[in-house]
Amino acid sequence: MKFTPLPAAQLKTVRVLVAFFIFGLVISGITAIPLMSEVDALVKITNADQLVALPASADAPIWAVWLLKIQTALHESAASHPMLFYGTDWLAFGHIVIAVAFIGAWKDPTRNEWLFDFGLIACAMVIPWALVFGAVRDIPIWWRLIDCSFGLFGAIPLWWCRSIVQRHNIVSQ
């Protein structure tokens, strides 16, 4: 099959969308490394500890209670089993490696159209993965839905890129 390059305007659109997707992968990856300091900062910024410590803490927002539960679990794990965080280091690595693969889609989207399908499949897999394993790990449904949203929001730029490339490839044949 002969691959013809996208017109400049379409190539620019695809590259912006792919760069956004790559950026999202890298950010979501590297934020998996400093979990404890990130959660500590989030507790401080949101005053979650103060909201839960109030005399009427039974009325504390569920997100604040959950955030403090996560903070406690992270600190206890770090003190007793720091090797568990090695798993999040590899999670970060996986995100970054996938991001590197999408450089191919950024460089030559028509030749690497398959990456859009790969990415869309991965985004679709996020939803059952989060729902099933979130339930197994006793993650609140509202948090699982936040995780599911990453698959949904990641699919939007990939679908858009795939549509542009497919239309171009049909016209070019």
**Residue ranges of domains in the chain:** 8-172
Average per-residue pLDDT for the chain: 95
pLDDT value of position 64: 94
Model confidence at 113, pLDDT cuts 50, 70, 90, reads very high
User: Long-range pairs for 69-78 at CB < 8 Å and ≥24 separation?
Assistant: 70/39, 71/39, 71/40, 71/43, 74/35, 74/36, 74/39, 75/36, 78/36
Model confidence at 172, pLDDT cuts 50, 70, 90, reads confident
Q: What tokens appear for 100 in the block?
A: 């590197």
Cα(33)–Cα(140) distance, rounded to whole angstroms? 22
Model confidence at 56, pLDDT cuts 50, 70, 90, reads low
pLDDT tens-digit readout, 81-93: 999 999 999 999 9
pLDDT value of position 57: 61
Q: What mean pLDDT is predicted for residues 135-154? A: 96
Model confidence at 3, pLDDT cuts 50, 70, 90, reads confident
pLDDT value of position 40: 98
pLDDT value of position 53: 84
Checking if the pLDDT of 169 tops 90, the result is: no
Q: What mean pLDDT is predicted for residues 40-66? A: 88
Checking if the pLDDT of 7 tops 80, the result is: yes
Q: What mean pLDDT is predicted for residues 157-171? A: 94
